[in-house]
């Protein structure tokens, strides 16, 4: 394998594609949320609608000590996630706050 091959090795390409997919998902969820808020559907509200129609959430969070991440309150409520529940995650780094030198 040459240095040139390293630049196109699949994980490097996938990271960009995952980041783009994540950004698109956030845009789509935002548009959906705006539609639901404007619809006035008379149901229990956006969290209930999101949980029944999507079953997933996309959000950004900061990695805390020990590698811990938090699921925001709105997403936990929308998806009816409680302490002790097992969830599946897909992690895509968005921004690194470290010195690269």
Which sequence spans correspond to the domains of the chain? 11-78
Predicted confidence band of residue 27 (pLDDT cuts 50, 70, 90): confident
CA 83 vs. chain centroid, Å, equals 19
CA 36 vs. chain centroid, Å, equals 19
pLDDT at 44 over 60: no
The per-residue pLDDT for range 6-24, each reduced to its tens digit, is: 555 666 667 777 788 888 8
Whole-structure pTM over 0.75, yes or no? Answer: no
Q: Which of 37, 38, 55, 54 minimizes the C-alpha distance to 46? A: 37
Q: What is the pLDDT of the chain when averaged over all its residues?
A: 75
Confidence at residue 57, expressed as pLDDT on a 0 to 100 scale: 80
Tally of CA atoms within 13 A in the half-sphere of 6 that contains its CB: 2
Confidence at residue 84, expressed as pLDDT on a 0 to 100 scale: 94
Buried b (16+ CB within 10 A) or exposed e, 3-22: eeeeeeeeeeeeeeebeeeb
């Amino acid at each position: 394998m040459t240095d040139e091959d390293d630049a196109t090795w699949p994980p490097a390409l996938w990271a960009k594609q995952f980041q783009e997919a994540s950004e698109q998902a956030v845009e789509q969820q935002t548009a959906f949320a705006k539609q639901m808020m404007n619809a006035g559907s008379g149901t229990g509200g956006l969290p209930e609608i999101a949980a029944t129609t999507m079953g997933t959430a996309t959000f950004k969070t900061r990695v805390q000590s020990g590698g811990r991440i938090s699921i925001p309150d709105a997403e936990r409520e929308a998806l009816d996630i409680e302490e002790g529940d097992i969830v599946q995650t897909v992690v895509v780094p968005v921004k690194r706050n470290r010195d690269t030198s």
